[in-house]
Structure 1
Amino acid sequence: MNILFLTPQRPYPTFQGTTIRNFNLIAELAKRHTIHLLTFLEPDQPANHGDLSDLCTTIETLPVPRRTTATRLRQMLTTRRPDMSWRLWSPEFAVRLETFLGAHPVDVVHIEGIEMAPYLPTVRKIAPDAKIIYDDHNAEWLLQWRNFTTDVKNPRRWIAAAYSLVQTVRLRRYERWVCRAADGVVAVSDADRTAIRALDSSLEITVVPNGVNLARYDSAAGDPIPFDMVFTGKMDYRPNIDAMLWFGQEVLPRILARRPESTLAIVGQRPHPRLDALRGNRAITITGFVEAVEPYIAGGAVYVAPFRVGGGTRLKLLQAMAMRKA
């Protein structure tokens, strides 16, 4: 079959959970099918497609669209769609998708995540015979609800809590629509399938669990970079920010009281300004983007994942376990 993947970022390098999942899906399906990829390229991603060039017949990229604060506020105030559904909306991407579908026979279109769901109507219009598979990486409505229940406990986070409550309502409606509109829905775990079916009990959902290439992590390249504790992830992602702020401010001081020489590495691209509150702690290193996370995981005595909010499954934990970390 000819399969077109629509992904929110190019799944190479595999620097975070979404890219790891999408790369592995493409790698396995490429063994039996012809794969095409239409995706966004982050500013800090290299131009080289790496191993994807051997897996995909065609790869087309567009720059990630930039939204001003004014545009974002206008979209939230004048439409009923969730904020996430606007983040990667690009008229240029829609045109490129129309052009591709008009020029190439496609049997299946794989839509990866809710940020790419706005392009579903374009697929229906241009390629009505193509089957649409929606891969729901998180039960997004539940993720926002968990954000709300966490932030509402802190008066300084009440504005964020109000945002999450509104987004929970919108996501429930939008996620239900996407799942009903697709020909097939994929979830990453049984728990996510249950959460998605809470939107519509008639939905048929297939679970395709996350996984990692054990051979890659068993022989990870690079000299280990030693830290006592290590955390990896995209550091502008709200659950990751919350996890590190809570751990750094509430847990780490207790560890340092008993073991003052302890160190923590927070490894990942685009650290959010909220994490600046941790920079004054000499025990904490915030790396920003790194070429590879494996040396940090290999050098860590303990891998920490102190999540209070989130959804899906944590590929970072699979990475750490593949490298035999506690």
Structure 2
Amino acid sequence: MHILFLTAQLPEPAQSGGTLRTSGLMRGVHAAGHDVHLLSFATEEQARTGQEALAGYCASVEVVPPPQRRITDRLRDLAFTNMPDMQRRFDSPLYAARLSALLAEQRFDLVQMESLEMAAYLPIIRREQPGVPVIYDSFNAEYDLQRTIYETERRSRRVVGALYSWVQWRRLKRFERRVCRAVQHVIAVSDADADAFERLAPGCPVSVVPNGINTGLYAHGDASLDLGAAPLVFTGSMAYRPNVDAAWWFADQVLGKVRAFVPEAKFFVVGSQPHPRLNPLRQREDVQITGWVPDVNPFLHAAAVYVVPLRMGSGTRLKLLQAMAARKAVVSTRIGAQGLDVEDGVQLRLADNALDFAQAVITLLSDAGACRALGQAGADYVRQHYDWDVIVPRLLRVYDQIKENPIPK
């Protein structure tokens, strides 16, 4: 099959959650014998950096500079349109023109939209190639994600954030419902997200293709990084609201309780574009905000305990899979472990309030044997269920279903 992938971010280098997923799926589709074509947003520097890796599995790659969307544009859309922010986030006449030309130049057997942002280009696909099957590969059930953010912000009495997410939640319900009804298949990353899509658009075809990783990349990491006696590590894009909230909550509500019993404990917030809301944490000796790092693997292997203190979200967490593959003992909220079939005390520890979370961390820091056993159990679980060798065949079965049930001409 000739398959066109539409992405908001270049899949290489694969570092963020979305790029890790897209890269893994595209590599697997190529390895299965399909021709993979890519149209993506990227700067010139990003295109140069990813060129060599993409050439290994893409028959063609075209990039368009990402649009520069100002805060005034977002405020205008918020006030004067009914469109969710995600629908407008990658609005680009250049991308639209290149997509139109690409679809006019060659026939594709399938178009796969990676993330809801790319669904804004669905009308162009329908206009240029009306009969081509389209897949919406969701990174989250986005409307449901905004619902959880709204509820958390409301409980925390952050009025502006709660109001914004309430508006986005309502608008995303309408937009995501239209998308689900307009495509041939929806891919969800978890059973919970699949249920959310079925509630949103009853009868739409939904399959679960979980997030995955190359477990071998994390099994044997560089252990030379010294983060001290009791480093607690959390990774992810620190411009992403759920991660910002998680880092702040852990530092504000949990870390002090841990240090009362383990004074040498220190919290490492590892990820790109730290939000200004995290700036006050930079003044603390027990917190280090690293900003962007070229590779999270050394931080994973240097961690005494990996923490996932998420209080809002949807989908599944690639960060958690990475840490488990690195044989790290993990403490997570249940939202942080959402979508994974795990049990407290078996593959990881689960805790949802500050006191229980701190106690779980303290217990692991005080028992090296328990840390090792939990880390090994987590690594075995991820290798058996979330390696790309296990995940990609599920996507290929969706392709087979689509081939067996073509769109009537």
Shorter-chain TM band: over 0.9
1:305 is aligned to: 308
Which of these residues, 234, 237, 246, is aligned with residue 237 of structure 2?
234
Q: 1: CA distance between counterparts of 2:218 and 2:62? A: 29
Which of these residues, 314, 317, 320, is aligned with residue 320 of structure 2?
317
Deviates more, 1:56-65 or 1:301-310: 56-65
2:271 aligned partner, one-letter code: G
Call closer, same or farther: CA 1:100–1:284 in 2, change over 3 Å. same
For normalisation by structure 1, the TM-score amounts to 0.96
Residues 198-247 of structure 1: per-residue CA shift (max 9 Å, x gap): 11221120111111111111233573343511111011001000000100
Call closer, same or farther: CA 1:313–1:255 in 2, change over 3 Å. same
Structure 2, unaligned stretches of length 5 or more? 330-409
Task: Give, in angstroms, the shift of residue 42 of structure 1.
Answer: 5.5
Secondary structure class of the residue paired with 2:68 = coil
Contact 1:9 1:42 in 2 (8 A): no
Aligned-residue sequence identity (percent) comes to 44
Contact 1:101 1:127 in 2 (8 A): yes
Call closer, same or farther: CA 1:287–1:36 in 2, change over 3 Å. same
1:154 aligned partner, one-letter code: S
Q: How does 1:47-58 map to 2 (within 5 A)?
A: 47-49=48-50, 50-58=52-60
Deviates more, 1:55-64 or 1:19-28: 55-64
2:209 is aligned to: 208
2:296 is aligned to: 293
Q: How does 1:28-177 map to 2 (within 5 A)?
A: 28-31=28-31, 32-41=33-42, 45=46, 47-49=48-50, 50-155=52-157, 157-177=158-178
Contact 2:185 2:204 in 1 (8 A): no
Contact 2:10 2:41 in 1 (8 A): yes
2:193 aligned partner, one-letter code: D
Q: How does 1:175-214 map to 2 (within 5 A)?
A: 175-214=176-215
Task: Give, in angstroms, the shift of residue 43 of structure 1.
Answer: 8.0
1:2 is aligned to: 2
Task: Give, in angstroms, the shift of residue 45 of structure 1.
Answer: 3.8
Contact 1:225 1:295 in 2 (8 A): no
Q: 2: CA distance between counterparts of 1:267 and 1:43? A: 26
Call closer, same or farther: CA 1:232–1:312 in 2, change over 3 Å. same
Aligned length: 325
Task: Give, in angstroms, the shift of residue 163 of structure 1.
Answer: 0.9
Q: 2: CA distance between counterparts of 1:314 and 1:160? A: 23
Q: 2: CA distance between counterparts of 1:207 and 1:225? A: 39
Structure 1, unaligned stretches of length 5 or more? none
Residues 115-153 of structure 1: per-residue CA shift (max 9 Å, x gap): 111011111111112110001110111111111111112
Deviates more, 1:239-248 or 1:97-106: 97-106
Residues 251-306 of structure 1: per-residue CA shift (max 9 Å, x gap): 01111222222111111111111111211111111111111111111111111100
For normalisation by structure 2, the TM-score amounts to 0.77
Residues 79-131 of structure 1: per-residue CA shift (max 9 Å, x gap): 21111111111111111111111122211110011111101111111111211
Contact 1:234 1:269 in 2 (8 A): yes
1:24 is aligned to: 24
Task: Give, in angstroms, the shift of residue 18 of structure 1.
Answer: 0.7
1:230 aligned partner, one-letter code: V
Call closer, same or farther: CA 1:281–1:42 in 2, change over 3 Å. farther
1:263 is aligned to: 266
Call closer, same or farther: CA 1:42–1:236 in 2, change over 3 Å. farther
Q: 2: CA distance between counterparts of 1:174 and 1:86? A: 11
Task: Give, in angstroms, the shift of residue 73 of structure 1.
Answer: 1.2
Call closer, same or farther: CA 1:315–1:42 in 2, change over 3 Å. farther
Name the one with the larger helix percent: 2
Contact 2:153 2:161 in 1 (8 A): yes
Q: 2: CA distance between counterparts of 1:273 and 1:15? A: 22
Task: Give, in angstroms, the shift of residue 60 of structure 1.
Answer: 1.2
2:153 aligned partner, one-letter code: D
Asked if 1:246 corresponds to 2:213, the answer is no
Residues 40-77 of structure 1: per-residue CA shift (max 9 Å, x gap): 12687462224221100111112221111211111122
Call closer, same or farther: CA 1:221–1:101 in 2, change over 3 Å. farther
